[in-house]
Structure 1
């Protein structure tokens, strides 16, 4: 169990001129992609902050997760963002403190939720820390809630914190969503796909972690990797109920995989539901896929994109289109990451990040044909964890990260000019065909057949190693103290704690 314890922004540069059609994921390796002319487009301002990963925006303030704490940044002048406060070494006085691997923060009104560590670690304090940020230049801690497992990603809505309880019981974990009143120090409820269908319990834990989540108007949107994306009614957090689900697999498709097949499936699409968000009225759902290529010589795998669903009837999602990723010269785990990461809807705009593939803004006024409005990348200098609207039609921000310690990469907040509010894209992307997972009318077919693999073993080309706990599943580490033949039989050949 868990225990409690006004400056002008209106600076818009000339839009990109060239027309480009982005490649479908299935043909990525064979497509030469034209790079749009963008000599006149680039950042307005930037602020270096060591350890930056996630960024969230509220008003004229950006809140950054900075690996060993958090920072607050004044972005009222987009050309000159300035540091308001920097809090590091959180929970230093606690047993196994300080809080490590702070890769996520969330803000609601005057409350900031700080979470860590992102991955399972031996002898580490696992906790959610709540701050009063009514004065963002002087944050005050108001609550600490120690948790039974790591906190890779979290959410804060209606005063309730939501967290994934991944790998708390090793390979027997149900990977629950847990709802918590952090300020009051009380757990409110929990839920797992195993509650909806016990057959998910037969699927190896590392194929069904709750990677990220988004909560709006009493509905939680849950990215459960190869178990798909779930819509959950949490209007009463103590009694959640399933609304619907989208995803390529039935539990039987995954429970029968061999070790080599499961390892390959964990890295590669389909599946890999990584990040999820909805637009302002929750009529449009975005599901981001984080994936790589296990074997560059076959036609399977590569970086993942963002699929858009019509959820105006949340009980019957309809797939509309997929925004495809920038290409990579080396799409393996140890190579150049251009896969989808975190994103943000604001009005008819979708702000996306693609690690070293940069940031892109899409016009989603017609979500069946998303159009590119702005894009920028400097693959040598910056890798982006997220993109967030600042003032739609004027500015947005990107969080530049370097959690893989690539030499020379900038870490901090970058402010970009947005397309004017009345601009619509003439660079419409041809949507990816929906011939696997949907019918001709666009409605979702829940479980197409799984892919086949030619090998029983997988080599993770170029994968890095760390001294932290290893685990099966992107972005997660099974707690290092958990050992035994069950985990060893499924352990990846490379350490995996470097993925976000």
Structure 2
């Protein structure tokens, strides 16, 4: 890879800084191929803008009980949308030191956890009164946490410390948060303990996690998806591993790691099972040759569907391709329900697919506009909520609403992309 191309690649991926890994700023991008706005047509598909709420710094968003909780880089915002026609920001919490670079939030009941991508752990917040969120604890890992998951009495954290090789200490750390003012580590799943060759390849961080019915679903980048049994959180055990890129267990020299990290055929960037656990959806965040000097790489990442009814023999049964629009459109975060998947594609917008038959996904609707770039899409109360990077939330509906852009302006489409322009870092 030429130095010019490498420099351009670093510019377009400024939303994720995996510190102390040897690979920095290498996981998230949201800029069109030609550096322009990359506009797309809002009239396609059946998704309409029902309502909106401006949220400065918006990144990951989750919904619970008529409220949306939004990571804002410096903390968290709470959007009250119990009246979906008039959602509004109801509260904002600025996380105290040493938190920083908060791109991810998760909630469960009266507790929220904020992952500090540029800080050393997670901030725990009491949300029993959503209009008055109160910081009650901090768990210090000593390393940036890009993503986390919160369920029951435990938080699951992506930790990517490095030894001599980037990501060689990649792991999911499990924390008991039953007493949020005094969180304690109870266990971990370390890639090197279970798949040492993948750990030493230099391109396999633990990027994201999801927990359902005592199973931990881990996106380990080119090493694929690894399911672990965490019914005993102090002793996670491997259940299945699938979706790895070819040769992801071979060491990569330092001068080729960035290109390998960014391009096809990898990777496992985000993962979520179906509610019944029979299928797993694995999203890839990959970039075409316009972004990285690789003539064989001409496609953006999509979402693979795996049948895991037999953990000994998981099978890929489908792939959801990015929207067919002239914009930067690799897969990012998504939400799976019983028969739908709600997906975000950066400048490619938000799309819903019918997965009643997971082997044959069918697109039901699509929303995009010239000035939006989406970090996530989640389903709640009959709506799809999209988080427009830096700008706010859009509440989308397949039957009701208007065509067009939200009135707020996000920060996901800088005309001259540079490090940190999307996350305030």
Taking structure 2 as the reference length, what is the TM-score of the superposition? 0.80
Local SS of the residue matching 2:161: coil
- TM-superposed deviation, 1:40: 7.2
In the alignment, is residue 368 of structure 1 matched against residue 359 of structure 2? yes
Q: How does 1:106-125 map to 2 (within 5 A)?
A: 106-116=106-116, 118-119=117-118, 125=119
Deviations 1:348-377 (A, max 9, x none): 010000001000011000111101111110
1:82 to 80, 88, 112: 88
Corresponding position: 1:389 with 2:360 = no
What is the CA distance between 1:114 and its match in structure 2? 1.1
Identify the residue that residue 213 of structure 1 maps to in structure 2: 209
In structure 1, the partner of 2:188 is 190
State the secondary structure of the residue aligned to 2:49.
Answer: coil
User: 1:174/1:387 Cα in 2 relative to 1: closer, same or farther (>3 Å)?
Assistant: same
**Larger Rg: 1 or 2?**
1
Compared with structure 1, are the counterparts of its residues 192 and 41 closer, same or farther at alpha carbon in structure 2 (3 Å cutoff)? closer
Measure how far apart 1:212 and its partner are: 0.5
Farther-moved stretch of structure 1 (290-299 vs 101-110): 290-299
Distance 1:41 1:352, change over 3 A: closer
**TM-score using structure 1 length:** 0.68
Contact 1:291/1:301 (8 A) holds in 2: no
Offset, 1:53: 0.2
- Aligned residue for 1:99, secondary structure, equals coil
Corresponding position of 1:203: 201
**Distance (Å, rounded) in 1 between the aligned partners of 2:183 and 2:346:** 36
CA distance in 2, matches of 1:361, 1:136: 29
- Is the counterpart of residue 417 in structure 1 residue 408 in structure 2? no
How far is 1:265 from its partner? 1.6
Deviation at 1:286, TM superposition (A): 0.5
Of structures 1 and 2, the one with the larger relative CO (CA 8 A, separation 6+) is 2
- Of Structure 1 and Structure 2, the greater strand share is in 2
Name the counterpart of 2:306.
Answer: 309
Distance 1:316 1:201 in 2: 23
Alignment partner of 1:44: what SS? strand
In structure 1, what is the equivalent of residue 123 of structure 2? 129
- For residues 248-285 of structure 1, the C-alpha deviation after alignment (integer angstroms, 9 at most, x for no partner) is 346x6542544454332211111121001112111221
Q: Tell me the equivalent position of 2:319.
A: 322
SS at match of 2:257: helix
Contact preservation (8 Å) 2:61, 2:71: yes
| TM superposition shift of 1:179 | 0.2
RMSD over aligned Cα atoms: 2.8
> What is the number of equivalent residue pairs in this alignment?
367
SS at match of 1:231: strand
